[in-house]
Chain A
Amino acid sequence: MTLASVRPTSKSMPSFSRRQLFFTLYVVGIASVATANGYLGNTAVPLLVPHPVQVVQGLLMVFVVPGLSLVCVAFPELQSWVERLLASVGISIAVATCAAVLIAALPMGFSRQPLEESLGWVAVTLSLGGLCSARLAPAVEALRAWAVREFRGLARKISIGFTDGAPKRSNPAVSRKHKESDVRRSHVVLRFSFDDKPADPRA
């Protein structure tokens, strides 16, 4: 609720939990596709789903799973679980409505299989993307840190080489400008955040 608690760049949850979540979504998506086909994988044995399971799976596929997959993959800055859940349900309903209308507008017409398959594939694709990004995230982070470290080292070397070992004298006008800028920016911060209230428009 305060500015101090806003960390837009931090991840919303640990990567292990994210991977677990993506894996769950992936399983639900695959189950949805399998149920839509009526068969499990390439086996010729029909998939008989008990009605309570079908109810739970159907409700999840229409109201939660597509949106949750998208939110977890593309919008990690939604920190609060309430916001995440609400956004998931809103996106899922929009996706399911558009998908159902689109399928009904096609020549094949509206039926269970294409709808369930399309929603299932949305969940599978997004969760696979999320899984990949979650697994690759530490490697990418390490690569980025290495690149930054190398760049800074290189810049330092160039700077030392340019001034021939002597530290470069700073420009007093520039440093004064920076200080003024700091003061001004800190005013902005204090105005609207630290007193925990909206800025007084009369001020």
Chain B
Amino acid sequence: MIALITIFVGIMIGMSLLTMILYIFFAQITVKKLRKNSKTRDFLGVEYVSGWDIINVAQALAFPLSWSLKIENSKLSFMHAKASLLLENTNIFDRILGCVFYWFMILTGLFGITIVILNYLGLLSD
């Protein structure tokens, strides 16, 4: 009998690996293009660490437009990529890729947090 935590950790490792592969693809296909474009270059959000703009762009493409507009009108809009501008400068494939990458990454991260909470509550130990 395989322990529950082993299965969860295995799934988490697999998901993380896939997230990282999607991250590289999205960076090379979409973000590289936006970084070179002088219209979008300065609107990719705050880069806390090198490469964080990739996550900003993915978020802008993945959020529903109503959410993105709320962010753009906020005082903290400078932290995020400007969604309305990015939507004009990307094609449908970019948007689908961004959406898949972003939500899969969020799912992976939330799964990781869930494992921590379940483990903390003692529900994963036999």
Partners in one complex: no
Give me the interface of B with A, judged by CB distance under 8 Å: none
Give me the interface of A with B, judged by CB distance under 8 Å: none
